[in-house]
Amino acid sequence: MSLPTVLTCLRILLTFVTMALLFLPGGAAKVAAFATFLIASATDWLDGYLARRWRQTSALGALLDPIADKVLVLGMFLAFIQLDLVPGWMVLVIAFREFLITGVRLFAAHRHVVLPAASEGKHKTVSQVVTLIVLFLVLIIQESVGPGALSPIARAMMDGLRVGCLWVTMLLTLVSGTSFFLRHRTVLKDAISR
């Protein structure tokens, strides 16, 4: 197994480590969870960079990389539902979009049709990671200062930032999903009719 593929597998493992740390009590555990999440996110860039630089792209790596990305993002959002920082219906919409488009891509690939990623999908991914970073920071601040220690203005600002990021992510999720199907509708019809 090549190093890029090992890094991809490591990202999946680090997702579960991050989730476990999130549910441990205390601010130190939350900071450790955040650091682990950042390392896991960095492997997403590093595995692709190394695979291209060392020409170690493989079918296994191409299959595992998007799965690892989805495990990381959806795993974190699911954890934040449990921590009452994210409404469950929002994560359901995000998960539905991710699984639907992944399924369509796999179906098209089985029919020897490649559906490339577009800028909308990349913006959506960036918004998801930024939102998760904001959620981590909100949780760390809440855990560090204790309940009731924040002023009403500080609480309102943190809630506004958290909710605003979630809505931006939701909007980009819906826009990228809609544009994906509109852009590839002809290709998808051809693939289905084969």
Convert the pLDDT of each residue in 116-127 to its tens digit.
777 887 888 899
Range 177-186 average pLDDT: 86
Predicted TM-score of the model (pTM): 0.87
Q: Residue 26: left (phi > 0), alpha (psi -120 to 50), or beta?
A: left
Longest alpha-carbon distance in the chain: 63
Distance CA 147, CA 50 (A): 44
d(CA 52, CA 119): 20
Helix (H, G, I), strand (E, B) or coil at 115: coil
What is the average per-residue pLDDT within 74-87?
95
Contact in structure between 47 and 5 (CB atoms under 8 Å):
yes
